[in-house]
Amino acid sequence: MFGRAKIAPQPQKDYASCSGCGLCLLVCPVWRRDRDIGLTPLGRAKALQHGAAAADIGESVQSCTLCAACEPACPEDIGLVAMTLDLRRQLVQPAAVQSLRTRMEAQAVRPRAPRPASPAVLLPGPALRERPGTLARAVALLGGAGKISIADDDGSDIALALEAGVSIPAPRLERFLQPLRGLRKIVVADGLLLRHLQQWPPGSKIASLGEALSGVAAVRRALRASDLYVIEPRAYHAGYQRLVNYYDALRADCGCVLNLDLQRIAIPAAARSLRHRLDLAAAVDTMDTSANDSIQARWILQGRMTTRIVVESLEDGAAFERVSDCPVVHLAELADDGT
């Protein structure tokens, strides 16, 4: 037959495989905010397919919130998060990102933390650490200090480095991972860190804080049919195939409304920019982030009758508190922990 040639199947799908279906647009919070194809995975894919370099699409690469909603939506199963991070690594790093590298190097030479005595560990992240009461309740709900301990090193600098596309020095990564090896379970509040932990320490069960807490019977009993339950999107999309059924069962069990769209993709409540998370240009970005979060949070609430908003992530909670008079409750604050 004339005019045809066999192409060897590619081992890993990348932007070259994008067929332009645009399903990623439908779930992208940046798209909802700006209605600009150039700032979406589709726009990046098409630009790269036609010869653009990372620097040519720098604004698009940096604007991605890494909510990962595009990944389960993509029918080609393209690793969109990994590729966005790869593009970020190719961009010239601003000075503040360089300081993040310095911070990781300093962490790497600190004495190693003792191995936790409990079989499970919680990596709470900075937001939860700032709320000691909520953190204590989370630990209590997850079985108490005998069953789960709070990690001395929760890798918050690593999570930021991952997001910024900054390479992580091997000694820093080893210092972080060493105490985690051999644990039965690791509960992670940061969804991006969870995604990477699924590949790093072998043999441990990795769960998001939301999944772990929502599996507690006392928490489930406290959920009401009139609740809006807000799933933390990064962790959800990192384990989508399994978690879509988990949360469907939760919905059936409790009757609450979830922040899922018709594709069963989690709508992010917040559209945090990388610059904000790195504490750059705080004044400007705080305004930006508030506006962005308002669009997202308002969209989740639109047309939904709810009496309470239950969040897995404190940052999502803050987004709803800005736009709604409904009480906003973190999962850990939902049930009596018995303490």
Partner 1 sequence: MHVTDIEPGTLGPCHVAPDALQGIKRQQTNPARWDGANWEEFAAAIRARGIEMREAAAALAAFATDAGGTAYGLAHGVVIARSTEQVALLLQAAQRYRVPVTVSGGGLTTEGESVAFGGVLLDMTGMSRVLHIDAEALTVRTEAGIFWHSLAEELRRRDLDYLSAPLNLTSSVGGTLGVGGIDVNSARLGCSADQALSLQVVTPTGEIVECSDTHNAALFQRVILGYGQFGVITEATLRVRRYTPLRMHYFYYSSLRTAIEDLQLLDHNDASDYSGILTIMDCAVNVLLAFDSPEREAAFMADWRPRLRGYGEFGFGLCTLVHYALRPWKLGEAWYLLQRKRELFPELQRPEYMRGATMLERSVVFSRAVWKFWGNRQMVIPDLATSAPKFVEAVERGNAVCRKYFPHYTLYLVGIRLRPEHRAHYEMSCIPPDAEGWAYGCEFEPMLGDTMYSRDYLQSFKNEIYDIGVDMGASYYRFGGMMKGYIRRVFGDALVDRHLALKRQADPAMILNRHVIF
Residues that bind partner 1 (CB under 8 A): 1-9, 17-23, 25-26, 35-38, 42-43, 46-47, 49-52, 56-57, 75-76, 244-245, 248, 261-264, 302-304
DSSP SS3 for 122: strand
Smallest gap from Cβ 7 to partner 1, in A, equals: 5
Least distance (Å) between residue 25 CB and partner 1: 7
Ranges of H-type helices in 8-113: 23-27, 29-34, 41-49, 58-63, 70-73, 80-90, 95-108
Cβ atoms 157, 173 nearer than 8 A: no
CB of 301 to partner 1, least distance (A): 10
Distance CA 302, CA 295 (A): 10
User: For the chain, what is the radius of gyration of the CA atoms?
Assistant: 20
CB of 109 or CB of 305, closer to partner 1? 305
Q: Of the two residues 35 and 110, which places its CB atom closer to partner 1 in the complex?
A: 35
What secondary structure does DSSP assign to 230-289, as a single string? Answer: E--HHHHHHTHHHHHHHHHHHHHHH--EESB-TTSPBPPS----HHHHTT-SHHHHHHHH
If we measure between CA atoms, which residue out of 58, 38, 48 comes closest to residue 14? Answer: 48
Compute CA 170 distance to the chain's CA centroid, rounded to the nearest angstrom.
23
The residue (of 17 and 149) whose beta carbon lies closer to partner 1 is 17
In the complex with partner 1, the residue whose CB is nearer, 16 or 281, is 16
Q: Which is nearer to partner 1, 103 or 251 (by Cβ)?
A: 251
